[in-house]
Chains A and B, each alone.
Chain A
Amino acid sequence: MKLNYKVFLLIIILSIYIFHVSATDGVPTTNTGGGFDPNAEGYEADATHDEVETIITTDIRDGIVNFFKDVFNKNPATTTQVVKEVFNFDLFENFASMMDQFSITRTPSGDNFNDKKNGNNVLTDPDTPLSYTPESDGGTLEIKTSTPQFKIAGAYQMTFTNQNLFKALRARQIDYQNTVSTNVQNYEVKQGTITASSAESFNVPGTAVGCTNCKNIVFSQDDFRVAAADTVTYQTTTSTNVNNYEGKKGTFTVTTADSVTIGSTTFTDVKDSTFSVINNRLVYADVKSAKDNNTATLENPIKGSSPDIKVDYAENSSFEVSIMPNQVDFTMSKGVFLNMSKITFRAAENNAKMKIEAAETPEYSMSRGTLEFTEKQFTEYIISECRASTAKIDFDAGFIQVILSPVLTALCPGCRYSYIAKDDKEKSYSLLNTGYEDYTIGFYKDGFLPYAEFLNSTDTNSWGYVKLPENIELNAVITYDRFREFMPQIESMESYNSAELEFMPVYMSFDYSNRALLNLIGGKNVNLTILNSNIDNKTDVAAEMNTGFHRIIEKKISGHVFRFEDFNRQPKSPPYVLLYSSDLEDNTPLMGVIDKTLGRICNSTQAIVVFTPNTEAEKLFRDKLQAWAAVSYDNMLEKYGPEKDENK
């Protein structure tokens, strides 16, 4: 492959002679001569435009440090004991151009060095001469140490073989400090790449790369690879008991590792994982767990959310996270659990997603999972099975505003919001988006989101507003659910509150022009008013209201909306609805439920008949209701429908 590549480049260079091929960063380049050049448009010239960078590596053996540019392969040693050295230098280009070779040799007497307190010898006297011996003539030159500035400690010999090194060193400002490598086996340097079969400890001068008890080491300017190691350090990261470590430009992967630490973030027992670091902070991770009951703790940069995010995941579960200053993105496998103190997310399916965005009230967008907020008095959550739903969550008040995703297919229902009152479960409720538009819900939450402010913030017709414990306003297509009622005859309140109950529909709207007002009485019972039951041709049922054994449907027939009463042998909901009224014309009697009994009421809402469920009187009323043609649309039409056109 390499041969082909070189041949191809040669062909390009020879055949397209009009191209200028430059190598400003060592990359073969074709310059077309066109393009937007900010430096050529009168903006200030960039002085470093044509600066050459050269790959610099070092060879350290037997106390000798060699800096070189190209190939180093002389006298390979099998075992190398490397001593400590500390170098800080700042070479000047004009100085560097004076020489072809430069060496500094510590004299046995140490005349050229001053002792420091820590025992290292440091060259500090600017007037102390150092030896310079050009290879060609063997001459000697005295150099004052103030130009260039050297600070050197330990036993060493430095050899510069190419003057270009000085430019590169200056450009890169390499700072060698406290490097230690011991028991290095088969240490070789070739074309800018250092390799070693093993090392008790391995550190590369001028970089933050190192490892202990490591095998099969490969280091170059861009890569750092280790087959196995007790510890690996790469920039500011530390990994322990690592297999197949590969680092490249701030990103590294491991096949397995007992731990990976990046700043204050630690991953334990991971496999087949990738991590990216920018400015010493984790910005991306693709992690798979190597054990059950695993937890990773990540920093959360989003203000107003929790300071960290704990990720609980099982063996072979995985998650991917991108952490940016204003946004955190997760993609997870099924079962992964994100814990942000009061806020949690559980992935119900693979490829579940959670995104946290910075805002005055942080926004949480999610799909294929459950996003939950828990307080002492209540729990609220949204379930989004397929499409993404969004929630603005205040860390004290809970959900402030949510956007519930709509129905996609029968297998992909709309998103559900639920509120569970812990001390009185009968007050719990749920809203399910059964329409084909996003549904926005605002929550008053003790004045956190006033009604007017909510209306100003949303421009959709599919919206609702919840002001507990007083009222709920629901527009467009939505379903309002409640739990079954508490039955003191068969259960205690404690067992009722702890029971797993299913939500049952109380009010179902099927038309986008509907508007329902639910006045909550004691936060529990409901006076329901349905307004605007004008329906378009796409739907025939505008709204449905369930109260215990009874159901009221507003249905479109022959272009008009009519009301039907029905008796449910299988109760669909508790009788929380006390009074039902509608803006329909009074061409049919209204139904009212008072004190858990159903009756026909007159237009002034004064009850004229009341019955207690499951009594003989109620049975009689039910029979009359059926006889009164409530369940037969044909009979209903005959009784209350538009006048028949006798000409037809």
Chain B
Amino acid sequence: MKRRGFIGKVLKFGGALVFAPKLLFGADAKISDITTVVNDYNFSKEVYGCKGKAIVLFYSNWESYSPTIFQLYRWLVSEYRDKVKFCSYELDDSYNPKVNANWKENWAVIKEKYGVDLLPVTNMYLDGGLVYRVRGSPTEKVPEQEIRKIIVKWIENQ
């Protein structure tokens, strides 16, 4: 095992201190724990009534695409939580075609209300108005870095 000298230990400890706040948004952090959880009842207050920028992640825990964007979202929250209000809207099993026979009705409603027709969807709001949307999860053509670039540009350039 590589031995760490005194200075190395100090640096390690210092590094731990520097990055300690980000541990709050580490790989295990639940999206619902690090964001404002929104639903139909509080969406008006939390998002439409929000002065400034708000980002809402529409996701679910029953399909495999949403988790691929969680890590990016944790990073965004840890870096920009002072500039942007981060919210999350979970689509529960009532939207799952494999579980709920009436899934189409629920999808029609959420599409009409928020423009969500697949998962995940990231909606960006400015002073309560919807101004931009990222539709889907990272792919080979559009990797996570590109999505990150878009969202960060939007956060920093307005």
State the A residues within 8 Å of B (CB).
1, 4-5, 8-9, 11-12, 16, 18-19, 24-25, 27-41, 43-44, 46, 49, 222, 248-251, 274, 276, 278, 283-284, 286, 322, 324
In the complex, B97 has a CB within 8 A of chain A: yes
Q: Please indicate the chain A residues that have their CB under 8 angstroms from the CB of B139 in the complex.
A: 32-34
**Contact among A18, A31, A43, A250 for B135, CB-based, below 8 A:** A31
Chain B, range 75-119, C-beta contacts under 8 Å to A: 95, 97, 103-104, 107-108, 111, 115, 117-119
CB nearest to A50 among chain B residues: B117
In Å, the complex CA distance between A30 and B142 comes to: 10
Given contacts A41-B97, A44-B104, A324-B41, contact A8 B133 (CB under 8 A): no
Q: With CB as the reference atom, state the residue of chain A lying closest to B59.
A: A36
When the two chains form their complex, are residues B64 and A35 in contact, meaning their CB atoms are under 8 A apart? no
Determine if A38 and B107 form an interchain contact, defined as CB atoms under 8 angstroms apart: yes
Q: Which residues of A contact B66 (CB under 8 A)?
A: 36
- Say yes or no: A29 contacts B135, CB within 8 Å: yes
Give Cα distance in the complex from A16 to B147, angstroms.
10
CB distance from B103 to the nearest CB of A (A): 7
Partner of B42, one of A8, A29, A34, A284: A284
Of B15-23, B24-32, B150-158, the one touching chain A: B150-158
Number of A-B contacts (CB under 8 A): 126
Chain B residues positioned under 8 Å from A322 (CB to CB) = 41-42
Among A18, A43, A49, the residue within 8 A (CB) of B117 is A49
Residue of B nearest to A4 (CB): B158
Give 10 A-B pairs besides A40-B118, A322-B41 with Cβ atoms closer than 8 angstroms.
Answer: A16-B150, A27-B123, A30-B133, A33-B136, A34-B68, A34-B137, A36-B118, A38-B118, A41-B97, A46-B104
Does B49 lie within 8 Å of A35, measured CB to CB?
no
> When the two chains form their complex, are residues B132 and A27 in contact, meaning their CB atoms are under 8 A apart?
yes
Contacts of B146 in A (CB 8 A): 16
Residues of B within 8 A of A278 (CB): 40
Using A34-B136, A38-B107, A284-B45 as known contacts, say yes or no to A18 and B119 having CB atoms under 8 A apart: no
In the bound complex, CA of A18 to CA of B138 (Å)? 13
Interface status of B60 (Cβ within 8 A of chain A): yes
Contact of A18 among B129, B132, B141 (CB under 8 A): B141
Residues of chain A with a CB closer than 8 A to B141's CB: 18, 32-33
User: Which label, helix, strand, loop or mixed, suits the secondary structure of the B interface?
Assistant: mixed
CB-CB nearest in chain B for A253: B49
Q: Report A-chain residues with C-beta under 8 Å of the C-beta of B42.
A: 284, 322
Nearest chain B CB to A282's CB is how many angstroms away? Answer: 11
Which of A4, A12, A324 counts the most chain B CB atoms within 10 A? A12
Distance in Å: Cβ of B135 to nearest Cβ of chain A: 5
CA distance A40 to B132 in the complex (A): 23
Query: Which residue of A18, A28, A34 has the most chain B CB atoms within 10 A of its CB atom?
Result: A34
**Known A8-B158, A251-B48; contact A32-B147, beta-carbon cutoff 8 A:** yes
- Among B108, B131, B158, the residue within 8 A (CB) of A27 is B131
With a CB–CB cut-off of 8 A, which chain A residues contact B44?
248-251, 276, 284
B51 vs chain A, min Cβ distance (A):
13
Cβ contact within 8 Å between A32 and B158: no
Do residues B134 and A32 form an inter-chain contact, with CB atoms below 8 A?
Answer: yes
Say yes or no: is B65 at the interface (Cβ < 8 Å to chain A): yes
Beta-carbon contact of B48 and A35 below 8 Å: no
Verify A27–B118 contact, CB threshold 8 A.
no
CA–CA, A27 and B121, complex, Å: 13
> Closest approach, in angstroms, between the C-beta of A30 and any C-beta of chain B?
5
B33 interface hit (Cβ, 8 Å): no
Of B97, B107, B118, B150, which contacts A35 at CB under 8 A?
B118
Q: Name the contact of A5 in the complex, choosing from B115, B136, B158 (C-beta under 8 A).
A: B158
Closest to A320 in B: B45
Q: How far is the CA of A276 from the CA of B48 in the complex (A)?
A: 12
Given contacts A35-B136, A38-B107, A284-B42, contact A12 B49 (CB under 8 A): no
**CB atoms of A19 and B142 under 8 A apart:** yes
A-B contact pairs, 23 of them (CB 8 A): A5-B131, A8-B154, A8-B158, A16-B150, A18-B142, A29-B135, A30-B133, A30-B142, A31-B136, A32-B136, A32-B138, A32-B147, A33-B141, A34-B138, A36-B64, A36-B66, A38-B95, A38-B104, A43-B104, A44-B104, A248-B44, A250-B44, A284-B42
Given A32-B137, A36-B60, A38-B97, check contact A27 B48 (CB 8 Å).
Answer: no
Residues of B within 8 Å of A32, CB to CB, are 134-139, 141-142, 147
9 nearest interchain CB pairs?
A35-B136, A32-B136, A251-B44, A34-B139, A36-B63, A32-B142, A37-B118, A36-B119, A34-B137
Task: Say yes or no for B130: interface residue by CB 8 A criterion.
Answer: yes
**Chain B, residue nearest A23 (CB):** B133
B64: chain A residues at CB < 8 Å are 36
Residues of A within 8 A of B68 (CB): 34
Nearest-CB distance from B28 to chain A (Å)? 23
Distance of A36 Cα from B68 Cα, bound (Å): 11
The complex places the Cα of A18 from the Cα of B128 at a distance, in Å, of 29
Complex: A249 Cα to B117 Cα, angstroms: 20
Select A249's contact among B48, B138, B150, B154, beta carbons within 8 Å. Answer: B48
Residue among B44, B103, B147 with max Cβ neighbours from chain A (10 Å): B44
Q: Which interface residue of B66, B104, B117, B135 has the most chain A CB atoms within 10 A?
A: B135
CB distance from B72 to the nearest CB of A (A): 11
Tell me, rounded to whole Å, the shortest Cβ–Cβ distance linking B70 to chain A: 13
In the bound complex, CA of A297 to CA of B63 (Å): 44
A509 and B44 alpha carbons, distance in the complex (Å): 49
Report the nearest B residue to A275, measured CB to CB.
B44
List chain A residues, Cβ under 8 A from B130: 27
Q: Within 8 Å CB of B41, what residues of A?
A: 276, 283-284, 322, 324
Query: Are A8 and B153 also in contact (CB < 8 A) when A32-B142, A38-B107, A322-B41 are?
Result: yes
In the assembled complex, the Cα of A627 lies from the Cα of B58 at a distance in Å of 77
Which residues on the A side are within 8 Å of B131 (C-beta)? 5, 27-28
Q: Are A35 and B135 in contact (CB under 8 A)?
A: yes
Q: In whole Å, how far is A300's beta carbon from the nearest beta carbon of chain B?
A: 17
A140 to B142, CA, bound (A): 53
Identify the closest chain B residue to A31 (Cβ).
B135
A513 to chain B, nearest CB (A): 37
B residues less than 8 Å from A16 (CB atoms): 146, 150
Chain B min CB distance to A253 (Å): 8
With A and B bound together, what is the CA distance between A16 and B115 in angstroms?
22
**Quick one: which of A25, A35, A286 has the most chain B CB within 10 A?**
A35
What are the residues of chain A within 8 A of B150 when measuring CB–CB?
A: 12, 16, 30
CA distance A27 to B111 in the complex (A): 13
CA of A4 to CA of B120, assembled, Å: 27
Q: Give the contacting residue for B48; candidates A28, A248, A286; CB below 8 A.
A: A248
Shortest CB-to-CB span from B96 to chain A, Å, is 9
- Complex CA distance for A34 and B66, rounded to whole angstroms: 10
Chain B residues near A49 (CB, 8 Å)? 117
Nearest chain-A residue to B96 (Cβ)?
A38
Please measure, in the bound complex, the distance between the C-alpha atom of A8 and the C-alpha atom of B111, giving whole angstroms.
Answer: 26
Which residues of chain B have C-beta atoms less than 8 A from A29's C-beta?
132-135
